[in-house]
Structure 1
Amino acid sequence: MPANSEYNARHLSVLEGLEAVRKRPGMYIGSTDSRGLMHCLWEIIDNSVDEALAGYGQSIEITLHPDGSVEVEDSGRGIPVDVEPRTGLSGVEVVFTKLHAGGKFGGGSYAASGGLHGVGASVVNALSSRLDVQVLRGGKVHQMSFRRGEPGRFQDGSRPSPDAPFEPSTDASPLDVVGKAKRGQTGTRVRYWADEQIFIKDAAFSADDLHARARQTAYLIPGLRITVKDLRRRPGTPGAEGPVEEVFQYDGGISEFVEHLTPATPVTDVWRIQGSGSFKERVPVLGEDGRTAMQDVQRTCEVDLALRWDVGYDTVFRSFVNIIATPKGGTHQSGFEAALLKAFRTQVESNARRLKAGSDKVEKDDVLAGMTAVLTVRLAEPQFEGQTKEILGTSAVRRIVAQVVEKELTARLTATARAQKQQVHVLLEKVVAEMKSRISARTHKENQRRKNALETSTMPAKLADCRSNDVASSELFIVEGDSALGTAKLARSSDFQALLPIRGKILNVQKASVSDILANAECAALIQVVGGGAGRSFDLDAARYGKVVLMTDADVDGAHIRTLLLTLFFRYMRPMVEAGRVFAAVPPLHRIEAVTKGVKEREVIYTYSEQELYATLARLEKEGRSYKEPIQRYKGLGEMDADQLAETTMDPRHRTLRRVNIAEVEAAERVFDLLMGSSVAPRKDFIVSHADELDRERIDA
């Protein structure tokens, strides 16, 4: 039996107030790294945002100071400065020192807010080595300071510091009046220094995350002006050279948010759907005596939706409850999706003959393909699943969102205005094309699996397949033209290397519809040979080859063909790119036969750029070696002998391959839309602005 086996009531610990927060910070902010540090900042910012959401104040200013502190200033009503009767403390001290205290428990101060639990400001205070709060209210500037949650006064020198001498307060409410406020001016300013005893050394505020959150919030509250100042001069950031300021204000609200989220070519305009509904909810209500009693409360839920469809198949969906992001969805998202599917099914069924839809039913994924949507709901005291607020749980919201979306969306889909009618027709054709593509992929899934040499009868006749059944080791080379195919057939190892020739420049899929792509022989053959399907139904496990290598000539046309092929893979077979299974071959440009005195055998050297050629020739001259004139310059892969092509481009022992990867999907989306999209003007501007960077001698390289 262990020596210290005694266990009774005196071994229990009762953590009072903010002591519990400092003992277990992860329970309140998730972690003590940069993520937790940013969570504290969101708590302070969200308090200011809730004021703007309630209609008080239209500006928030966030400043990152060089000393590691952060300041948030708003033009809201200001935290109450009068004495709270039950505690005898000022409103400011209650908000920053008492857990589960605030104005968001149904007292009528906020119709809808992001704060629910009353722990945000007090948690930040507990985890700060110093926090200063100034409140502009009643024509006065009130100030209070805290050290690790304890109220008091700092004896500051030339500038405020958490290391300044601190005197804990013995007053009941140490709220000092430090100045006068302009007439009618109200607001709250909070500046705090995160406690180094709590947070790890590498924890730092991320300007990029802050900008993203500020931009998102500004979209959700039209007219709200959010200013972010970075005074830290941190290396590697936009503010490295000096103070930088960025302002976010969007009067168009979530309609502008949708346009920001998707730069792709639109099929429809941004459709805005708004409505509301009411429901009854039985909740505990706090009475004047401090006790709670269950009551039936009438709630109102406001629904605001902006959505648009694009030519692609990716879905971008953002949902919010009182400006709180709900990345894992909830009842509002399920209501939206149910209404969306019902409205589209009704329209497709009623137009089945014109759309040639047959008797097949549209599924949710068919409708979501290419859709970008932002859904926001506002209601008092929403129920979330857990403190993280990632999933909305209020059940009545599902019905309200479904009713609003179905009614308004049906009106859009049945509109008689010519422009609107044309958009709806194109959209319904796109949805039906997605449905047919999904059904086709499912029907032919077994046929698209890896086949051996005796089972390639369903494959295109021009495919020169390999013998291996091992997907991981097999390679598909997409070669440009029949001349390159002839050489490549002799150069390849037929055990694991397959060849598929394409005739010149394939269809630009960035501009084409799904039906155009499936009707195009080159694109259809390539999709069939790869074997994983296309678009949303692409199955990476069903892909027939471990590597796909784009082997084009080293000239301008070859680069264009490679870009067209990459566009096809990025748009319709993206999992192959994300898995790192798409490569670009690097064929040489020059072949040098170096001659050494007294040695009969000549050394063959391949170079891959003009710069490398000149450097190699200079090295040979320095070594006193000559070379055979003229130097062979390869204009295309067909000019190589089979052994040369094998040695330089196809043999895994000697070749060089460039792996195609996607570091940032959104940045890649913008680049593909710029270079390959249907909008000509931005592409022209790009070409003109970068013309000076082009070396004319490299045009044919």
Structure 2
Amino acid sequence: MSGDGTGYEAARIEVLDGLEAVRKRPGMWVGSTTERGLQQMVLDAVRQAVNGAVAKGGGHIDVTLTADGGVRVADDGPGVPFEDPDEGVTGEPGLESLLTSLRTGPESSGRHIVFLAPLGVGLFVVNALSSRLTAEVRRVGTHRVQEYARGVALAPPTTVGPATGSGTTITFWPDTEIFEPTQCSFAVLAERLRQVTFLNRGLRISLTDERPTGGLRSVRFQFPEGVRDFAAALDAETGLGAPPDIVGFEREDPRMAGTMEVALVWHSRHKRVHSFANSIATHEGGTHLEGFYDGVTAAMTAYARKRELLSAPDPGLDHDRVGARLTAVVSVKLDHLEFRGATRTLLGNTPVRACVAEAVEEHLGTWFEEHPEQAARIVEEVIRDHRQN
């Protein structure tokens, strides 16, 4: 086909690479040049800190929305060195490479990798879309700093003095030539950081907002009981008072190459079930949620038949009925995530369903046997709902 009049001549093809590609088409990297894109940038900066903390079993991350429109993310980890590891030494790239190189290869994987948002653009994109960025590293007694402007280093990293403690701090100012507005929602960030802290025990995250004219506001999150605390918090939102016992467990299963953490309670007339994969909120569900409902349904049906709450001719319970009054959190952490579609909201790992179903059926069945009065009340209510519908 001739290129005449079509606009597809080779001379019209524009090749963009690296920094230029990100700055010219920012929406491709952070989803939007509105507040949603800013949120993605903040979460990407926080993700770097969270993964460092999770890798060492816990830590403190301080996120600050500064009065001059910037965002500061500080952690108390060992400090990411600016330089890449020596040739032949395995390890993650140095901080300078993370800030200046677009990593297009396979994304880091493993059950200990935490994702804060469906997109994972990394520090390079944060740097590229910021008018200014300051990187600070406190490591082995030395405090080093490097400054950037619109993704370009102004000078090599410099030593500014001794350091007390260790950690990495990234401070950036979203580029006003790209973003409108240039301020993030405190409430939206707080809710996502709260979720991540629920899902990763040992992690502490604080969020401070220096922008309000009436004075700063701050929240701090730490949840030693993990998803049990998450389920309790969700139940508390119903306003029904203290919940009955929360059923919760954690299990590793090599068949799905990962771990699961589940908590559930019946204490409401409305279903409130949240699922996550490597800390990503899977709004569409997937194999982990299907397995969860399989397990709950099997445990309840078995208990009801054993206690003759269901007779032999009665059909078994179904997913919709057992979940109608349920508050639950289902979190899996897998070495290799597989999603159905590109949005990362529907988990597709096939072995997960059977593994989660088996674990939930076993733990819930045991809990029913150990708490007969509560079990009878829960199962009777579910059966009553089942028969009325």
**Secondary structure in 1 aligned to 2:72?**
strand
Alpha-carbon distance between aligned partners in 1 of 2:329 and 2:225, rounded to the nearest angstrom: 13
Partner of 2:369: 414
**Residues 190 and 101 from structure 1, CA distance in 2 versus in 1: closer, same or farther, beyond 3 angstroms?**
farther
TM superposition shift of 1:57: 4.6
Partner of 1:560: none
**What whole-Å deviation, never above 9, does each CA across 1:639-674 have from its counterpart, x for those lacking one?**
xxxxxxxxxxxxxxxxxxxxxxxxxxxxxxxxxxxx
> Is 2:200 the partner of 1:221?
yes
Question: Which letter maps to 1:349?
Answer: R
**What whole-Å deviation, never above 9, does each CA across 1:499-549 have from its counterpart, x for those lacking one?**
xxxxxxxxxxxxxxxxxxxxxxxxxxxxxxxxxxxxxxxxxxxxxxxxxxx
TM superposition shift of 1:83: 3.1
TM superposition shift of 1:250: 1.9
1:345-360 to 2 correspondences below 5 Å: 345-352=301-308, 354=309, 359-360=314-315
Q: Match for 1:369 among 304, 314, 324?
A: 324
1:486-505 to 2 correspondences below 5 Å: none
Question: Which letter maps to 1:72?
Answer: V
**Secondary structure in 1 aligned to 2:245?**
coil
Question: Which letter maps to 1:214?
Answer: L
Q: Match for 1:97 among 97, 100, 105?
A: 100
Alpha-carbon distance between aligned partners in 2 of 1:64 and 1:412, rounded to the nearest angstrom: 45
Partner of 1:316: 272
Partner of 1:69: 70
**Residues 118 and 266 from structure 1, CA distance in 2 versus in 1: closer, same or farther, beyond 3 angstroms?**
closer
Q: Match for 1:274 among 250, 254, 260?
A: 250
TM superposition shift of 1:203: 4.5
> Is 2:159 the partner of 1:186?
no
Partner of 1:258: 231
Contact 1:229 1:245 in 2 (8 A): yes
Partner of 1:195: 175
Question: Which letter maps to 1:134?
Answer: E
1:537-576 to 2 correspondences below 5 Å: none
Contact 1:267 1:426 in 2 (8 A): no
Alpha-carbon distance between aligned partners in 1 of 2:221 and 2:194, rounded to the nearest angstrom: 6
Same amino acid, percent of matched pairs: 34
Contact 1:102 1:118 in 2 (8 A): no
Contact 1:134 1:143 in 2 (8 A): yes
Partner of 2:146: 144
TM superposition shift of 1:119: 2.9
> Is 2:248 the partner of 1:246?
no
Contact 1:274 1:404 in 2 (8 A): no
Partner of 2:384: 433
**Residues 181 and 380 from structure 1, CA distance in 2 versus in 1: closer, same or farther, beyond 3 angstroms?**
farther
**Residues 389 and 177 from structure 1, CA distance in 2 versus in 1: closer, same or farther, beyond 3 angstroms?**
farther
1:30-109 to 2 correspondences below 5 Å: 30-84=31-85, 91-100=94-103, 105=108
Question: Which letter maps to 1:29?
Answer: V
Instruction: Number of aligned residue pairs: give it.
Output: 380
**Secondary structure in 1 aligned to 2:254?**
strand
Contact 1:357 1:432 in 2 (8 A): no
Partner of 1:177: 159
TM superposition shift of 1:388: 3.9
TM superposition shift of 1:301: 0.9
Partner of 1:112: 113
Q: Match for 2:210 among 231, 236, 243?
A: 231
Contact 1:94 1:101 in 2 (8 A): no
**Secondary structure in 2 aligned to 1:51?**
helix
Question: Which letter maps to 2:375?
Answer: V
1:451-466 to 2 correspondences below 5 Å: none
Partner of 2:26: 25
> Which aligned runs of 4 or more in structure 1 are off by greater than 6 angstroms?
115-118
**Residues 31 and 91 from structure 1, CA distance in 2 versus in 1: closer, same or farther, beyond 3 angstroms?**
same
Alpha-carbon distance between aligned partners in 2 of 1:133 and 1:384, rounded to the nearest angstrom: 34
Alpha-carbon distance between aligned partners in 2 of 1:321 and 1:75, rounded to the nearest angstrom: 26
**Residues 62 and 357 from structure 1, CA distance in 2 versus in 1: closer, same or farther, beyond 3 angstroms?**
farther
TM superposition shift of 1:96: 1.2
TM superposition shift of 1:150: 1.3
TM superposition shift of 1:35: 1.3
TM superposition shift of 1:15: 1.0
Question: Which letter maps to 1:304?
Answer: E
Q: Match for 1:329 among 285, 288, 291?
A: 285
Partner of 1:394: 349
Alpha-carbon distance between aligned partners in 2 of 1:19 and 1:395, rounded to the nearest angstrom: 40
Partner of 2:333: 378
**Secondary structure in 1 aligned to 2:387?**
helix
**Secondary structure in 2 aligned to 1:66?**
coil
**What whole-Å deviation, never above 9, does each CA across 1:283-315 have from its counterpart, x for those lacking one?**
xxxxxxxxxxxxxxxx731111111001x3211
- Bigger shift: 331-340 or 357-366? 357-366
TM superposition shift of 1:331: 1.6
**Residues 224 and 380 from structure 1, CA distance in 2 versus in 1: closer, same or farther, beyond 3 angstroms?**
same
Contact 1:275 1:302 in 2 (8 A): yes
Contact 1:222 1:253 in 2 (8 A): yes
Alpha-carbon distance between aligned partners in 2 of 1:421 and 1:271, rounded to the nearest angstrom: 14
TM-score, normalization by structure 2: 0.89
TM superposition shift of 1:223: 3.3
**Residues 103 and 117 from structure 1, CA distance in 2 versus in 1: closer, same or farther, beyond 3 angstroms?**
farther
TM-score, normalization by structure 1: 0.51
- Bigger shift: 328-337 or 77-86? 77-86
Contact 2:54 2:203 in 1 (8 A): no
**Residues 277 and 2 from structure 1, CA distance in 2 versus in 1: closer, same or farther, beyond 3 angstroms?**
closer
Contact 1:129 1:147 in 2 (8 A): yes
Q: Match for 2:136 among 131, 134, 137?
A: 134
Alpha-carbon distance between aligned partners in 2 of 1:203 and 1:380, rounded to the nearest angstrom: 36
Contact 1:57 1:76 in 2 (8 A): no
Alpha-carbon distance between aligned partners in 2 of 1:432 and 1:365, rounded to the nearest angstrom: 12
TM superposition shift of 1:73: 0.4
Structure 2: gaps spanning 5 or more residues = 88-92
**Secondary structure in 2 aligned to 1:251?**
coil
Structure 1: gaps spanning 5 or more residues = 154-173, 234-239, 280-298, 439-701
**Residues 267 and 177 from structure 1, CA distance in 2 versus in 1: closer, same or farther, beyond 3 angstroms?**
closer
**Residues 102 and 351 from structure 1, CA distance in 2 versus in 1: closer, same or farther, beyond 3 angstroms?**
same
**Secondary structure in 2 aligned to 1:45?**
helix
Contact 1:56 1:76 in 2 (8 A): no
Contact 2:73 2:170 in 1 (8 A): yes
Alpha-carbon distance between aligned partners in 2 of 1:359 and 1:12, rounded to the nearest angstrom: 67
**What whole-Å deviation, never above 9, does each CA across 1:70-113 have from its counterpart, x for those lacking one?**
10101123223233568xxx71121112122699635x8x8433
Alpha-carbon distance between aligned partners in 1 of 2:40 and 2:340, rounded to the nearest angstrom: 18
**Secondary structure in 1 aligned to 2:346?**
coil
